Amino acid sequence: MMASASEMAILGARNTVPGWSALATEMFECKVITGGLTNMLNLVRVKDEAHKDAVAGAAAETAATVETAEQAAAADGEEAASTMALVRIFGEGTDEFIDRAAEQAVCTAVARAGIAPHVFGTFPGGRAEQFLVRAKSLINHDLHNEQILVEVAQLMAKMHTLSLPKEAAHTPLSEPMTPQILRRLYSSAVETRFDVGEEPFKALKLAALRVDTLATEIDRIEDELKSSGMGIVLCHRDLQSGNVMIDRDEAGALKRAYLIDFEYSGKDFCGFDFGNTFNEMSINNFSSRYPGFCLDVDMYPTRDQQHFFFDHYLRHIPDPKTLFAPDCVPTSRDAMIDKLCEFAYLGSLASHMQWTLWGIAQADSSSIDFGHLEYATARFDQYRALRAQHDDSSAP
């Protein structure tokens, strides 16, 4: 008999969280947490009657896994961390375009750097992570708050300066991720089908996207990125509001920020992260009404907001030359910021294409209640609008 998602989450956490394997499965409870667009997120906790024993065993074992002072800070609140775990159950069909070994390598690196929650371990079909008790995820409007935008710029810069361990330096992590993921998603998207008789609206929406023509756009994006002069860094590649967790103190002041969800992360053109985050500043991915998102083009960051972001971002890049190809390094800070804005434009195009293809690929396989085809259509409309806007401004 196939285990339910809750049973799978409990078993996975029990086998990966230090100190939990000695407890019977009935000593745990599980509830679904909203917020995941690709995975099912679950909070697994030890029930009250087992609370004290679980804390004693888990705290000692978890302490032994903390390797740096920053990681220790990320594990703040040890009692709660020992009795709760966030468990991700990977979405059906997502392994076709997500390399789980690569994801795990990135998760380990960012957790050790203290910019992401501690990873307890993986199991078939999922992963158990530290549950950040006081931290809350954001919505896109929050990214327009300058204090929070500064935190995001710092976290992005810190991730961009990380190196992966040598054992992780293999394909797909040894090559830029955008061309790989676009082609992987395209392979899934082009196979998506809906029967006109059974699902006419989905069939019509899919036909309007003309998926078979997107290969030409993918080639164009790849050529532009490769000739742009961008440096290759460790990118998050899905740095949107829901993947930023903010921890506040009892007075409500911002205490610490974290990044989560590294499914699409890897070595990539730095501009992808810039453009993707700027795109996401205009999209609420967690609307309570169908199709589950709301896009407001007026919330795309202005040139002044982009300059503000890059000013703070560069303050946390020890060697800005790493963001540029050797023969394309600007000679002044202002010129660097202007160039990073150009990189962001190319990254925005690549991001819109990625999530267009993602929406199509997920439309007939995901069990999550979300308007995937509507999302794909909205992102592709923005891709075309951004292309047209740039082409018009570049015309003589």
Q: Bridge-partner residues for 127, per DSSP?
A: 88, 122
**pLDDT in the model for residue 114:** 92
What is the residue-averaged pLDDT of the chain?
A: 88
- Domains of the chain in start order, with CATH, are 5-52+75-133 (3.30.200.20), 136-394 (3.90.1200.10)
Residue with tokens 């009404």: 289
Q: Which two tokens stand for residue 316?
A: 């946390």
Q: Bridge-partner residues for 269, per DSSP?
A: 232
272: burial class by Cβ within 10 Å (0-12, 13-18, 19+)? buried
Q: Is residue 348 a contact partner of residue 279, using CB atoms and an 8 Å limit?
A: yes
Quick: pLDDT tens for 90-141.
887 777 778 888 888 899 899 999 999 999 999 999 999 999 888 999 999 9
Q: Is residue 115 a contact partner of residue 158, using CB atoms and an 8 Å limit?
A: yes
SS3 121: strand
User: Count of CB atoms within 10 A of residue 259's CB?
Assistant: 22
> Under 8 Å CB-to-CB from 202, ≥6 apart: which residues?
194, 363, 373
3-state helix, strand, coil split of the chain in percent (to 5) is 55, 15, 30
- Cα distance from N-terminal residue to C-terminal residue, the chain: 67
Q: Is residue 372 a contact partner of residue 381, using CB atoms and an 8 Å limit?
A: no
**pLDDT in the model for residue 100:** 84
**Mean pLDDT calculated for residue range 46-71:** 55
CA 359-360-364 angle, to 5 degrees, is 105
Quick: pLDDT tens for 302-331.
999 999 999 999 999 999 999 999 999 999
Q: Is residue 114 a contact partner of residue 270, using CB atoms and an 8 Å limit?
A: no
Quick: pLDDT tens for 222-236.
999 999 999 999 999
Burial 32-48 (b: 16+ CB within 10 A, else e): eeeebbbbbbbbbbbee
